[in-house]
Structure 1
Amino acid sequence: MFFQRVAFKSLALLYLGTILDVNASVIQRASSSPVDNIIHALNGIDTSGASKLPDAFSFDGTYTIPQQDTLDLLRGLAITTKRITFTYGPPVGGGPYYPSGIGGIARSALDTLAINSDVLPELAGSALDLIKLTAQIGNYDGLQTVDDYVKLYANNLENTLPKGPDSGSLTNFTQDLFFSSERLSHSPYQIRRLNPSSDILSFQVDDATAKSISGETLSDLFNAGRLFYADYRDQANLEKSAQFSAACDAYFYMDEKSGSFLPMAIRTNVGSNLIYTPKDTANDWLLAKIMFNVNDFWFAQLDHLARTHETIQISYMAAIRTLSEEHPVLGMLNRLMLEVFGAQPLAVVVLFLPGGIIDQIFGHSGRAAQSYATDYYQNKGSGSFKSTYFKTELRSRGLIDCSYGPDLKHFPFYEDGSVIFSAIETFMTSFVDSFYADDSVITGDSEIQAWWKEAQGPAKAIDFPSILTKGDLVDVLTHMAHLSSISHHTINTNELLEMSQVLPFHPAALYKAPPTSKGVTNVADYLPHFDKVILQLLVGGLFARPKLVNTERTLLHMFDDANLLSRMNDQTTAAAAKFKRDMQAFSSQVSLRTFDAEGLSQGMPFVWKALDPNVALYSTTT
């Protein structure tokens, strides 16, 4: 791992002083704790190789495939130089290989510097917001009730969360439809439909209770293909922190008449292993949903590390080592993979180290988080390239094109994601067509053939496909763009503070052990105290990017880069312009969303805008 002292604290104070124009005493208060701890952690990230990449990693001419290049020998020598200087090093923060060698260290250092330049202005805004929040501590009545937590968001986070949480997130979170809709929007990667021909029921809900909730027994729902399941039992035996967590699994169902997607039951799998349903008291059922959300938040963030960052990281490393800088595919990947090697060092020093953020606010330790993410990357499918293709992965969980159950009435993640995915796929098809007349040109491209063999071989990328046709190449490039944009920003960046971290419904941990019997009188007893609230909001601010909204960093501008397009052909330039127009039109649609006459948006009691192409970014960034 690469850690070295760099004066990021001074740089952060410079941002705080010059960009925000606040006085030095306020700055010192903001950076003393817990902001100072994060800046101190950033000091530990090695950026000593960040001055310059070796010459073999630069090129100023027009992109060509090998068959078009008359200087093929020089091109080959440059690739050889890259292979020598950009090598596979040990993982940083778990997962796959991390760049090593002169070129690899330089690139990772440059990416780390770039991420930190994104982080520090956002951290400055978070510091000022949290000063204001702390100064008004008396307004929250000691956070003694669930309603007290809602008051935290009253005009206190204008820098970190300028538009506030998603509409409905502070008013409708007690609704069951709110809870179930979260599984189909901002956290869509755990829920699956149970297949009556191959699955079994993990726990039972008695017939009388099930009928009183849904009008049908659990077996009836199961046999009709209208029973869904989410499983976090793998969190039961993880190393604990000072906080608490359950290890929930849960059933959801589709109502036969209305088609509504709703919760049926939640099991804790710890202590007395209680099973909660909507027929319990309001407090017990709300706590059960919060306990599930604690598990869900842990999974979503660590799965996203494996599913997006680590999966594209190793695929891109293989491309760097086999494709010339003159190759249009590497040019395209260089655009999409902005800052991709900067996330792992940040995760290690800020999140995973003992005493870091995860130890302080989650129910399990930073060590457990690193091993959990690595397990999902290596063993549980999140790091599998081809099987996590957008539609392939959703089909595998019975969420689209299901042969044994009815279609979901609403599926916001798929609805929004499909618009963007289709536009990316259309662009990539034009891009590939512009350089490859037919499949024989693909198989004749020695560098493309070397890429997939490198990925499958030395890189040890999981389930990376052979690239033998134009369609194969389109699929690979579309998927890498999908992971860096749609998949990542559904779960992370601005979405965190807007929805999936919004209190009181989404604490990172419980602050009291899960109950051993029902009859909870005050759910707030299990929620974070004020100091932990401040830290959870700061963490959300660390990963949010409100200052990049409506800038050239958004998904709208994914291919809108003058340097890139000046070296491409006219067909690719035209395709990039079409993509931008399509995304602008979709952004206009998403940005105007509000509640309909039934108080719903996309069938949900909250307004979800995470995939607005002028808000979501085109690269992973954090």
Structure 2
Amino acid sequence: MPSVAALGPNLTHIRQSPGSNVHYLKGFTERGTSWNSLQELETFFLFNGRENTVAKYVQAHWKEDAFFGYQCLNGSNPLCVKQIRSLPPNFAVTSKMVRFFLPEGSSLKREMEKGRVYLLDYEILDQLPDNTVNGKQTYLTAPLCLLHYNQNEELKPIAIQLQQSPGPQNPVFLPSDSAADWLLAKIWVHNSDFLVHQLLSHLLRTHLVGEVCCTATLRHLPEIHPLYQLLMPHIQTTLQINIQARATLLAKNGVFDKSMSWSLEAVKLLLARGTQRLRYSSMCVPDDLRCRGLDTLPICYYAQDAIRVWDALHRFVEGWSSLYYCNDEDVQQDCELQNWIREIFMEGFLGLIHIGIPQSFQTTAEMCKFVTMVIFSCSALHSAVNFSQMDYNLWILNSPAAMVRPPPQTKGQISVDELLSFLPGVNSSCHVLSVLSLLSHRAIDYENLQYTGFHWTHAPGPKLTSGLCLVII
């Protein structure tokens, strides 16, 4: 669907914007040259981030290893880091390399056995076609980053390998290397994280999941169906948003095409890989946090907030469903509900059994869990990965959208002053920030996670006197 015109008034929405000021950014859209100096970058940041206290904190602390780990857990993309008990076979790090960054008398094996070692692995980016930005080739890496949760309750990176295949031209960078080498290795990880965040954590996991469920809802559930009324406040604008995104961000000569490290062909490949590797368990907060070893990590504030929101949503969905489905047999015999989940499985998730999406609902519990996942993905998760973008990306060195010099194949070849030369032209950075600025600002008519102003059009009778209410602020 190339235009929102065919959606009709019920599925379109006029966003009441707070009027984000991007005029200063637009003043640089014709400048394709690189940043002249760190001072120039700081001046640029000052004009754009003077009122953003989080962005100013990022700019002040972005070099610190502890803040690097904090962002993995609580930044704009908290979905990638995971606990490991053994090293990937292609990660050439050894216990001897990292012994100075571990407790005295311990070893890497012991720390992994204690559950204190975590990994970022961007293998999904491996061998993707690169892009050309301002006439310069961009470069992609698929790094592995090892992190250790230390006795000071800090998660710090202790080893980074920038490509998947180990070898003499793919060294393992360590905190003990030169300041420039270690900082550049972390910048490459941030670049990879930015790309995965934009297409997988944000677009695929929230927008496209919402679109799949919205389309199936419109096709199979009448407006008086309880599930239609439960879901539509969260998904009814996804079609419009995604159509507009395809026409601008994802179109030829759009922001992604002109400013990111990957080409539009790489976008298709990455979304395909992301879909193949998606798992239902990773979309359900309790299962995901437990699997990644974050459910009991004290400094993972995303996990603590996410599980509380998930539990509140799940209780609400269970209470609402109990008004209509007295037992599992009621769920099994609801043909509209069964057709709905069947289409989501077949058309939205391509019938891929290994993803784990239900093909049908046999119990009320199965239905409630899936509906909770949909609402969480389109509300709380989207807020987590969307509204924090400007905070962590405004200081460009903390999260560059593209890199125009190849990753280092040996150590000791660059200085700190050369770091800016890896960034793309000023205009491409400003194109990205202009979009992120618009996305990160809440609309004037933004609502908290509640059903204020939404009217139920069908009541099942006196059972409704139980009085359900969901308000999360």
Identify which of 467, 471, 482 aligns with 2:361: 467
Structural mapping, 1:265-304, within 5 Å: 265-269=159-163, 272-304=169-201
Native 8 Å contact 2:390 2:436 kept in 1 = yes
Distance of aligned partners of 1:145 and 1:416 in 2 relative to their CA distance in 1, 3 Å threshold: farther
Write out per-residue CA displacement over residues 493-533 of structure 1, whole angstroms, 9 at most, x where no aligned residue: x2111124532211111132223332321222222332223
Report deviation, 1:294.
Answer: 0.3
What amino acid maps onto 1:515 in structure 2? Answer: P
**Equivalent residue, structure 1, for 2:322:** 433
- Aligned: 1:240 with 2:130: yes
Give 2:330's aligned amino acid. Answer: V
1:352–1:367: 8 Å Cα contact kept in structure 2? no
Match of 2:215 among 279, 302, 317: 317
Contact (CA 8 Å) 2:224, 2:458: kept in 1 or not? no
Q: Which residue of 2 aligns with 1:103?
A: none
> Aligned residue pairs: how many?
451
**Distance in 1 between residues matched to 2:378 and 2:149, nearest whole Å:** 31
- 1:359-393 C-alpha deviation (Å, 9 max, x unpaired): 2221111221122112211x111xx4455211112
Q: Secondary structure at the match of 2:129?
A: coil
Deviation at 1:470, TM superposition (A): 2.5
1:195 aligns with one of 82, 85, 96: 85
| 2:6 corresponding residue in structure 1 | 49
Separation in 2 of the partners of 1:207 and 1:163? 41
Where does residue 97 of structure 2 map in the other structure?
Answer: 209
CA deviation string 1:429-481 (max 9, x = no partner):
22112223333333343322333344345664653323233222221221111
Residues 13-38 of structure 1: per-residue CA shift (max 9 Å, x gap): xxxxxxxxxxxxxxxxxxxxxxxxxx
Give how far 1:315 is off. Answer: 3.1
Query: Is 1:504 the equivalent of 2:384?
Result: no
Alignment-derived partner of residue 336 in structure 1: 234
CA contact under 8 A between 2:49 and 2:56: conserved in structure 1? no
Instruction: Please state if 1:128 is matched with 2:20.
Output: no
Shift of 1:303: 0.8
1:264 is paired with a residue of what secondary structure?
A: strand
Give the structure 1 partner of residue 441 of structure 2.
Answer: 545
Does the CA contact (< 8 Å) of 2:216 and 2:343 recur in 1? Answer: yes
Partner of 2:298: 409
The separation in 2 between residues aligned to 1:394 and 1:447, in whole angstroms, is 32
Aligned CA distance change for structure 1 residues 561 and 167 (closer, same or farther; 3 Å): farther
8 A Cα contact 2:147 2:155, kept in partner: yes
- CA RMSD, 1 decimal: 3.1
Contact 2:142-2:162 at 8 Å conserved across structures: yes
| Structure 1: runs of 5+ lacking an equivalent | 4-45, 54-109, 401-406, 585-622
Instruction: Give 3-state SS (helix, strand or coil) of 1:263's partner.
Output: strand
- Output the CA distance in 2 between the equivalents of 1:48 and 1:344: 13
Matches within 5 A, 1:513-524: 513-519=406-412, 520-521=414-415, 522=417, 523-524=419-420
Change in CA separation of 1:372 and 1:332 when aligned onto 2, cut-off 3 Å: same
1:442–1:234: structure 2 CA closer, same or farther, 3 Å change rule?
A: closer
Check whether the contact 1:192–1:399 (CA below 8 A) recurs between aligned residues.
yes
In structure 1, C-alpha distance between the alignment counterparts of 2:271 and 2:21, rounded to whole Å: 27
Larger radius of gyration: 1
Q: CA–CA distance in 2 between the matches of 1:295 and 1:340?
A: 26
The CA distance in 2 between the partners of 1:472 and 1:217, in whole Å, is 43
TM-score (norm 1): 0.66
Q: Is 2:81–2:292's contact at 8 Å kept on the other side of the alignment?
A: yes
Asked if the contact 2:92/2:172 (under 8 Å) is kept, the reply is no
SS at match of 1:563: coil
Please give the per-residue CA displacement for 1:165-217, whole angstroms capped at 9, x wherever unaligned: 44521111111011111111132222221134xx6443233444311112343
Note if contact 2:26-2:434 (Cα within 8 Å) is conserved in structure 1: no
Alpha-carbon contact 1:213-1:279 (below 8 Å) kept: no
Amino acid at match of 2:277: K
Structure 2 residue matching 1:528: 3-state secondary structure: coil
Structure 2 stretches lacking a partner, 5+ long: 133-137
**Letter of the aligned partner of 1:363 in structure 2?**
S
Shift of 1:132: 6.8
User: Which is bigger in relative contact order (C-alpha 8 A, separation at least 6)?
Assistant: 2
